[in-house]
Structure 1
Amino acid sequence: MAALAAFFVVGACTSVAPRESPAGQPTTAASEPTATISTATASARQAEYLVFYADGKQREAENAVARAGGTVVSVDSRLGYLMAKAGTAAFPENAGADPSVVGVSPDRRIGAATVTPTAGRPAAAHRASGKQARTEPLAGRQWDMRMIGADRANLKVPGSRQVLVGVIDTGVDGKHPDIAPNFNRELSRNFVIDRPTDDRGETLDGPCEVSSCIDPVDVDDDGHGTHVASTIASPINGIGIAGVAPGVQIVNIRAGQDSGFFFLKPSLDALTYAGDIGVDVVNMSFFVDPWLFNCPDNASDSKKQQLEQRAVIVGMQRALDYARARGVTLVSALGNGATDLGHPTVDRQSPGYPKGSERVRRVDNSCLNVPAESRGVISVAAVGPTGRKAIYSDYGLEQTDVAAPGGDSLDGPGGASPTRGILAAAPEHVLRAAGRIDASGKPRGPDVVRDCTGGSCSYYQYLEGTSMAAPHATGVAAILISRFGKPGKGGLNLAPATVENLLFRTAAPRSCPSPRNFVYRSYGRNVTHDCRGGTDDNGFYGHGIVDAWKAATVEP
């Protein structure tokens, strides 16, 4: 259903992989979307498209748009695409037939349903950071931090406040007591407009919480982005937990819908914004919807679908290149499909939007999971408490760069346990809406933990997924930038290639299991994953499990 690479450990899977200006002038990346909500149906209005053109072919692509019956609305020359409007369903194929056009994708950012605001949700109480405690109250539950030595590293190198970490996700609860001290509200942006319903009239994000349908920058109505941000940088403040790099700043760069979908345009906007403001490292625990695997020439797809997948591949690569060229280190979750990404065979999840559009299709290694398989991205597999690759984690010799704790409820004796997941901050209103806490605030299961140290309560949740693994790697990258970065735009700068090299050097090597065909026991059946490669680089662990302590102590 959704693009997020994360699982709730107890109960049903809710967040899974598990949305300008005149021609030739780019829009400023700092601008946020303007809501355009109409009571008209999608079929009764012009649709908007991203039309990607080949290098040096802007004018030719503009002409192709006009011939196909469309109108150019704006141009983003940074990433090489036109925003166009058209009223005919054949527009993508007609425009895409021109050799100057390399991809066409519908822009699903703008809603077409009637706005139905709900009553405002109460904000979590803000509690300023107090005297630092050397051990946070819930530290004993953080097996993940002990595994990578973060419990020791954050006392030696907690991270510099000059380091900006961008969380490209569903939002961040900036008022959560264990995030607020490190949350940079001024730089945070939301590039998403909530959509109450999808193109078929089915519930998508649900009723808008504000009249504009654009949530404030300190709101997360899903909880996924808050969990990620907490793992990276929950402060040492005497409550809850501590993140991998508890001294750095978190910038919310929202690209995900409340429903968990990540569409192309907001993802492009988020990456270009990160590059423009001097963000040091971004965490991307998602794939770009609606295709799990983007195949440029799959014979089972229509021409329109092929053009859309090409647009995702090309557009995201341009945005990633744009950000990386401006000093942004790119970290991505690998995915939760339990698939060897070097040898994929079947895609059962695409197209994932609108819901119910999925079909089974054959895929091969020419089909890419984006951004995990895009160039210049550090892709992270997940391990459980024993250090084995998590059963759900994707893998692959060419795809896995490093591994990190992501949790695995099955990794241990005595059946599944939620406490083998990753504990991090959760928005209280999300837990209430999901029924995970009762009216008095008491957790309804072992997957949710409440900490009322000092009389003010905050909430945390165990989740598992490569979404949870990636922020551990992002936090270690932030430690490295804190140590070796030089003053520059946004604070400290360290070339992404240098960060990547140091991250690989400091990772703890881990060999493939013996035998290499590792058999998982999962709810009464056996599942086999084949690990390829040597100790220094293999499909399960890449260059090894990230190590915060080594990152805090390594010499260049």
Structure 2
Amino acid sequence: MTKFQLIPHQIDEVLEETNEIPEGVEMIGAPNQWEEDTYGSDTVIAVIDTGCDVNHPDLRDSIIGGRNFSGGNPRNILDQNGHGTHVAGTIAASLNGHGVAGVAPKAKLLILKVMDDKGTTTYQNLVKAVRYATRWRGPNKEKVGVISMSLGGQKDYASLHRSIKNAVKEDILVVCAAGNSGDGNARTPERLYPGYYDEVVQVGAVDFDAKMAEFTNTNDEIDLVAPGVGIRSTYLGGKYATLSGTSMATPHVTGAAALLIDQHRQEGIELSENDLFEALTENTKDLGYSREVEGNGMIYFKDIFE
């Protein structure tokens, strides 16, 4: 049976405690949005990954629901790997005065566990999770606004592509990691699916100096880049960890999308998927690379005084 897997990533450090706004969250200007009372409130993000530490003090108030597609009890969404918990924290860790804060600290997380402890899954399970996210309705008729996936495979599967197209038709933005097999040569395209699909927002990684990460994939479908080197976020057992990879860049863009949904909703505007993508590309900084490296640029919310 064909496997999809987590995009390989690097664990740099694990901490018992911390108290900070992570540097990546600061770098993209998310706190500038918070100053405008925009926190991603009530936007539902489906995180299709390894599950989540649902008892983590920075995440437990953000989780609206979940389902397990990796086998066993469908209600068991506990993370035994760490990757999904880290991604979830970058998106929506609570702004609670300790630990870390996510880009959209008042967004809601729908945790869809598709991967086993080793970070592998079948494309059939991945399709089921995307379909579930598309059809899901919350206790107050909420629906998913964004799907976040930091995983990939070498092959293009028609059923996976169809499920993503259907999600987009339902005005769900799909955000995917580009992959970490880059060789630093922008003329050598590296392609993983679902990231390479035209319908998704494919995210590459830069470091805190806004330089291209040496591992980030480059291809003609890159849409945005975000911080992906040395990213501090939530981890297993109520801890915190510093990880590197395009998997860590992706949730910065996912959280940014939640902020934009919230901002426009406050103005009485419900964004279509296409409108949301355009809003993301309007909130970017040109880093001076080719489109195959940075797409439309690095996600960035300006300070009102800039």
Q: TM-score, normalised to structure 2's length?
A: 0.88
Among 123, 128, 132, the alignment partner of 1:273 is 132
Among 25, 33, 58, the alignment partner of 1:145 is 25
Query: Following TM superposition, by how much is the alpha carbon of 1:493 offset from its aligned partner in structure 2, in angstroms?
Result: 4.8
Percent identity between matched residues is: 29
- After superposition, the Cα gap between the structure-2 partners of 1:160 and 1:546, relative to the gap in structure 1 and judged at 3 Å, is closer
| Structure whose residues are more often strand by fraction | 2
SS in 2 for 1:262: strand
What one-letter code is carried by the residue in structure 1 that aligns with 2:296?
H
Query: Following TM superposition, by how much is the alpha carbon of 1:258 offset from its aligned partner in structure 2, in angstroms?
Result: 1.6
Corresponding residue for 2:164? 320
Instruction: Provide the C-alpha distance between the structure 2 equivalents of 1:276 and 1:148, rounded to a whole number of angstroms.
Output: 31
Instruction: Provide the C-alpha distance between the structure 2 equivalents of 1:150 and 1:321, rounded to a whole number of angstroms.
Output: 29
Query: Following TM superposition, by how much is the alpha carbon of 1:487 offset from its aligned partner in structure 2, in angstroms?
Result: 11
Instruction: Provide the C-alpha distance between the structure 2 equivalents of 1:467 and 1:375, rounded to a whole number of angstroms.
Output: 19
For the Cα contact (< 8 Å) 1:3–1:262, is it kept in 2? Answer: yes
For the Cα contact (< 8 Å) 2:189–2:217, is it kept in 1? Answer: no
| Structure 2 residue 76 is matched with structure 1 residue 191 | no
Among 460, 472, 494, the alignment partner of 2:271 is 494
- After superposition, the Cα gap between the structure-2 partners of 1:280 and 1:542, relative to the gap in structure 1 and judged at 3 Å, is same
Equivalent runs, 1:58-457 vs 2, <5 Å: 138-139=19-20, 142-185=22-65, 188-193=66-71, 213-214=72-73, 216-277=75-136, 278-288=143-153, 293-294=154-155, 312-339=156-183, 343-344=188-189, 369-396=192-219, 398-407=220-229, 421-428=230-237
Q: Which deviates further from its counterpart, 377-386 or 477-486?
A: 477-486
Corresponding residue for 1:523? none
- After superposition, the Cα gap between the structure-2 partners of 1:10 and 1:479, relative to the gap in structure 1 and judged at 3 Å, is closer
Q: Which deviates further from its counterpart, 278-287 or 144-153?
A: 144-153
What one-letter code is carried by the residue in structure 2 that aligns with 1:481?
I
**Higher alpha-carbon Rg:** 1
- After superposition, the Cα gap between the structure-2 partners of 1:343 and 1:144, relative to the gap in structure 1 and judged at 3 Å, is same
Q: Which has the higher contact order (CA 8 A, sep 6+)?
A: 2
Consecutive unaligned residues of structure 2, counting only runs of 5 or more, are 137-142
SS in 1 for 2:277: helix
For the Cα contact (< 8 Å) 2:178–2:222, is it kept in 1? Answer: yes
For the Cα contact (< 8 Å) 1:172–1:217, is it kept in 2? Answer: no
- After superposition, the Cα gap between the structure-2 partners of 1:343 and 1:160, relative to the gap in structure 1 and judged at 3 Å, is closer
SS in 2 for 1:481: helix
For the Cα contact (< 8 Å) 1:324–1:330, is it kept in 2? Answer: yes
Q: RMSD of the alignment, in Å? A: 2.5
What one-letter code is carried by the residue in structure 2 that aligns with 1:189?
R
- After superposition, the Cα gap between the structure-2 partners of 1:161 and 1:143, relative to the gap in structure 1 and judged at 3 Å, is closer
Instruction: Provide the C-alpha distance between the structure 2 equivalents of 1:329 and 1:487, rounded to a whole number of angstroms.
Output: 20
Instruction: Provide the C-alpha distance between the structure 2 equivalents of 1:226 and 1:245, rounded to a whole number of angstroms.
Output: 15
Q: How many matched pairs?
A: 292
SS in 1 for 2:212: coil
Instruction: Provide the C-alpha distance between the structure 2 equivalents of 1:2 and 1:341, rounded to a whole number of angstroms.
Output: 25
Q: TM-score, normalised to structure 1's length?
A: 0.49
Instruction: Provide the C-alpha distance between the structure 2 equivalents of 1:486 and 1:320, rounded to a whole number of angstroms.
Output: 28
Query: Following TM superposition, by how much is the alpha carbon of 1:6 offset from its aligned partner in structure 2, in angstroms?
Result: 4.3
Deviations 1:107-148 (A, max 9, x none): xxxxxxxxxxxxxxxxxxxxxxxxxxxxx96226x2212211
Corresponding residue for 1:454? none
For the Cα contact (< 8 Å) 1:170–1:256, is it kept in 2? Answer: yes
Instruction: Provide the C-alpha distance between the structure 1 equivalents of 2:299 and 2:214, rounded to a whole number of angstroms.
Output: 19
For the Cα contact (< 8 Å) 2:173–2:273, is it kept in 1? Answer: yes
SS in 1 for 2:294: coil
